Structure 1
Amino acid sequence: MNANPAILAWPVQEDDLLPLALWDAATIAEAAGGTASGDFLCSGVEIDSRDVREGDLFFALKGETTDGHRFLDAAFANGAIAAVVDRPIPQPHILVRDTTEALEALARAARDRVDGRIVGVTGSVGKTGVKEAIFAALDRSSRGGAHRSVKSYNNHVGVPLSLARMPARTRFGIFEMGMNHAGEIAALTHQVRPNVAVITTIAPAHIENLGSEEAIADAKAEIFAGLEKGGTAIIPADSPHFERLRNAARALGAHTISFGKAAHADVRLLDSVAASSGGSLVTADMGDTRICYTVAAAGEHWIINSLAVMATVRAVGGDLGAAGLSLAEMTGLVGRGARHDILLGYGRKALLIDESYNANPASMRATLAQLGQTPAARRIAVLGAMKELGDFSPAFHAALAEPLAQSGAEYALLVGPEMEALASELGKGANGKLGKAIAFAHCKDTDEAIAALAAFGLDDGDAILVKGSNSVGLARLVAHFSGKEG
């Protein structure tokens, strides 16, 4: 052999011994306590037959209204290499007692085999955007070594699915955790076992089920219970619940890092300057150093979100420079701040701001403020109902009159029966800018809103904010006017 001895003596590193395939049949069977029908390798894990790609392992989960076993033929037709099932099938499979328990078991095995740094993210507002920004920063600095939960896979099924998809060679894992009731995040964080746990903010989302903001703060603070020994809790310094969150983290032995405008913040905003692109130039103090970077996403809420991102990247040993570059390139996500130009012909165009995925009182105020800062000939607000507010719903909807007026909106479309309270408030005629009433229409659903906005007519230089809870369906309005599917 004529190979250079130095090449033959190339040191074997620990990562070189890790598998390249995501999972093999024997490992899945061992983790899930099942029996493999034969040998196979899979490159992905999926629970929806419509999303299966070539080489995926399909879990036939049972839900309250459907059974994944009904979709096995579709999954294999789309390229599934094998399936996890609770009954024998002719195709390659892992036979288990319970497919949901098997998915959770595979998630535990995925977490156990990864030696990278794991981040958990929760909060009433901004958790998906912050999760995506942290991922972009860490993926950039690790050259593709980061993994995260996709979309908003943040519940009792989405979290184990996201864990099961995590490659053994992952250097950084970022997982979003959501909840509707107390106790739900506690269950998720013990699966994720983060080294760093981030709470973006506390706001009255899901207050119908929890009853108070204090109870919401306690439910979000459950994320600290899963922290690995010596873990770090990253919390919003500007929150009225800051002390509550910090005490909860410290009671569990966590190191705390706070972010925000407050003088006591560990990662503190020093200055922000609006950029012509709609974003901001941010200067922040991190205690022993100051950093300056650009945030492409518009809105003051993204300035604060960026501080949480920087705090997290530093806490896991990431590259702050790469984080700054990522924030400068990361514009709004679909349904969460994406901006679309609506071409009106003859060189005219309007701007549509897509915030159609979710809404609560805090995020409504933040995005209406963003609308007010957006240069426009006319500002139009399409506001869908905010869900899960319970008995608080009428008051919270009526309270939107003030931020709507401050946004400078000339026309508002209110969508959904819950918006009756805001319509009544606007109908009093004293909430408009400079004392002028805001013209508005109250629509029962998205179809009516599409027709009403078309009848109102868009013109050159208009800025249209579309914001509402996902179940209202305003994504269809966005797709209709932008020509882009959400």
Structure 2
Amino acid sequence: MRAISWLGTRSSIFLMSTARRRLCENVRWPMRDLHLSHLAKSLGVDCQNGDAVLRGLAIDSRAVKPGDLFVAIVGDRVDGHDFIESALANGAVAVACARPIDTPVPSIQIADSNQVCASFGRLMRADFGGVVIGITGSAGKTTAKSFLESICSGAGSTVATSGNQNNELGVPLTLARLSENPEFAVVEMGASRKGDIAYLKSMAAPQIAVLLNALEAHVGRFGSLDTIVETKGEILDNLTEADTAVLNADQLHYASWRKRAAPAKIIAFGEDSSADVRLLDTVDHGLDGSDITVDMLGTRVALRLSIPGKAGVTNALAAMAAAAALDIDPDVIAQGIEALSPVEGRGNTIQLDRGIRLINDCYNASPSSVMAALDTLNKARPPRTAVLADMLELGDDGPRYHREVGKHLSNLGIERVIAVGELSAHIKDSCSVQALHFSDTNELLADCPDFLQDETILVKGSRGMQLDRFVTSMTSSLGDAKC
């Protein structure tokens, strides 16, 4: 049962956010039409075969909607130019291409498709009168985005990042949907290297910047944790007094991020006593979620989360803090938090035959997220099995991180682990529980072990390890719950 009570006030933050909301409500106007000629001018090229009004952006001919600009991307395995006719059949009104085309359709020619998409996104953002919320971090971005999307949808029209479209192509696809003239846009931002967040932020220009954390995920790609901290912090650069930074008060880097965000307003979330949105109490129900009590800038909120684990609680706090910056009613915030169920591949539970429960958390993995997932699995009744594949992009420290996971498994006493991949052999060798090892997912699928009645199975690994194939195999054979 949700309960909301008034504890006090931190009126300076609420007055700031109310002013912003009133500005948006009073000044918002219908989005102006974006013409191909406008885009061409921003790119310094000419239109061919006339002009067109652009309603949206597509880089996949199958996803084209009427009125879209289709960007023909030349990839390693697929050339978008081969699908121009298909895109036009689906309603594309113009084409951006890297080489001349024979089709008499409004078009622009430019070699860099990323530049086309970025310019499209920037033009849409420049004409948008609502509020953009940007979210980044090493872990939890999609869950925090989904929480905030659920909240904002209860307060007004909202667009948000779809799936994993959080890179240099995905962010423009989200910004293209600003043509719908929503009140809120929630934009997730990921990074592969230093400078990526700065680049994405230059397109999205969020008035509210949410920084969840900086963890060891992908440290092999970045080179060091310090570089990850620096990169994630790029979302805080060049904020103004009218903007708000939402920061994790429990992170070691909180103080430096707070300075970096100046002169923006700060709303902190977490368990630390300094947090503006602070966790007061939690009752962990394992796979069934948590009951939490939160002091949200003076409003006491008690609610139930369906997202399991401590990470779910942290992401909910982040979303509540961002929603508080928007001055969304506390009851609407609570309703949005309680309405969200786990996203597929990110901790959703699948009920199989014979009482077997499968926790599908195979979208990605880092040492901290695997440890947290194992803690959640440990709250389930025995028997329990952890199916863990390699955590990739950890650099030279990869073996050590996998050994630490094995030791954590031993400390928890989870009954069995199935390790998949070369690095995961270190998990098997470092734990004292029953352990099986498979060289890759293909070998696992070819010789899948049996699972017991009422067993709980956690499936987690880096996306490149393709454990989603194991999940599909399990769910397609419900009768005996074998691969």
**TM-score (normalizing by structure 1):** 0.86
Q: Map 1:340-351; keep pairs closer than 5 Å.
A: 340-343=350-353, 348-351=354-357
1:383/1:467 contact within 8 Å kept = yes
Between the aligned partners of 2:27 and 2:256, the Cα distance in structure 1 is: 42
Is the counterpart of residue 323 in structure 1 residue 333 in structure 2? yes
Aligned to 1:175: 187
Is the counterpart of residue 443 in structure 1 residue 448 in structure 2? no
Between the aligned partners of 1:89 and 1:170, the Cα distance in structure 2 is: 37
CA spacing shift, 1:318–1:88, aligned 2, 3 Å: farther
Is the counterpart of residue 244 in structure 1 residue 250 in structure 2? no
Aligned to 2:134: 120
1:352/1:466 contact within 8 Å kept = yes
Is the counterpart of residue 382 in structure 1 residue 396 in structure 2? no
Q: Map 1:208-287; keep pairs closer than 5 Å.
A: 208-250=220-262, 253-275=263-285, 278-287=288-297
Aligned to 2:456: 463
* Counterpart pick for 1:420 among 421, 425, 432: 425
CA spacing shift, 1:193–1:275, aligned 2, 3 Å: same
Q: Map 1:5-404; keep pairs closer than 5 Å.
A: 17-18=30-31, 23=34, 25=36, 28-29=39-40, 32=43, 34-35=46-47, 37-38=49-50, 40-41=52-53, 43-63=55-75, 66-86=78-98, 87-98=100-111, 99-142=113-156, 145-167=157-179, 169-250=181-262, 253-275=263-285, 278-343=288-353, 348-374=354-380, 376-404=381-409
CA spacing shift, 1:70–1:409, aligned 2, 3 Å: same
Give CA-to-partner distance per residue, 1:210-266, whole Å, 9 cap, x none. 33323321111011115355211111111122222222223xx22222111112222
CA spacing shift, 1:407–1:42, aligned 2, 3 Å: farther
Between the aligned partners of 1:185 and 1:109, the Cα distance in structure 2 is: 19
Greater Cα offset, 199-208 or 398-407: 398-407
Between the aligned partners of 2:106 and 2:81, the Cα distance in structure 1 is: 12
Between the aligned partners of 2:300 and 2:43, the Cα distance in structure 1 is: 48
1:32/1:103 contact within 8 Å kept = no
Greater Cα offset, 90-99 or 310-319: 90-99
**TM-score (normalizing by structure 2):** 0.86
Between the aligned partners of 1:179 and 1:91, the Cα distance in structure 2 is: 38
2:117/2:172 contact within 8 Å kept = yes
The Cα shift of 1:440 comes to 1.2
Aligned length in residues = 450
2:145/2:186 contact within 8 Å kept = yes
Between the aligned partners of 1:227 and 1:141, the Cα distance in structure 2 is: 25
Q: Structure 1: 5+ residue runs without aligned partners?
A: 1-12, 427-436
CA spacing shift, 1:42–1:215, aligned 2, 3 Å: closer
1:113/1:168 contact within 8 Å kept = no
CA spacing shift, 1:77–1:461, aligned 2, 3 Å: same
One-letter amino acid of the counterpart of residue 142, structure 2 = T
One-letter amino acid of the counterpart of residue 366, structure 2 = N
Displacement over 6 Å in runs of 4+: none
Between the aligned partners of 1:275 and 1:73, the Cα distance in structure 2 is: 53
Q: Which has the higher contact order (CA 8 A, sep 6+)?
A: 2
1:189/1:226 contact within 8 Å kept = no
Between the aligned partners of 1:35 and 1:318, the Cα distance in structure 2 is: 44
Q: Structure 2: 5+ residue runs without aligned partners?
A: 1-25, 478-483
One-letter amino acid of the counterpart of residue 373, structure 1 = K
The Cα shift of 1:452 comes to 4.0
- Secondary structure, counterpart of 1:165 in structure 2: helix
